[in-house]
Amino acid sequence: MRRLLSLVMVLLAILAVTGIAASGRASAVEPEEVLADPALEKRARVLSAELRCLVCQNQSIDDSNAPLAKDLRLVVRERLQAGDSDRQIVEYIVARYGEFVLLRPRFNAATLVLWLAPLLLLAFGIWLAWRLMRRADIPHLRPAELSAEDRARLARMLDDHPNGS
- Has residue 156 been placed in a domain? no
- The pLDDT, as a whole number, for residue 21 is 54
Residue 123 shares a structural domain with residue 76? no
- Has residue 18 been placed in a domain? no
CATH code of the domain containing 77: 1.10.8.640
Residue 97 shares a structural domain with residue 29? yes
- The pLDDT, as a whole number, for residue 6 is 74
State the DSSP H helix or E strand holding residue 134, giving kind and residue range, or none if neither.
helix 112-135
What sign for the dihedral angle of Cα 34, 46, 99, 86?
negative
Residue 97 shares a structural domain with residue 116? no
Residue 86 shares a structural domain with residue 61? yes
- Has residue 9 been placed in a domain? no
Q: How far apart are CA 25 and CA 60, in angstroms?
A: 10
Segment 79-134, tens digit of pLDDT: 988 988 989 999 999 999 888 888 887 787 777 887 889 999 999 999 998 888 87
Closest Cα partner for 81 from 36, 28, 48?
A: 36
At residue 111, the 3 state secondary structure works out as: helix
Residue 72 shares a structural domain with residue 90? yes
User: What total number of domains does the chain contain?
Assistant: 2
- Has residue 32 been placed in a domain? yes
- Has residue 83 been placed in a domain? yes
Residue 121 belongs to what domain range?
109-134
CB 43 within 8 A of CB 80: yes
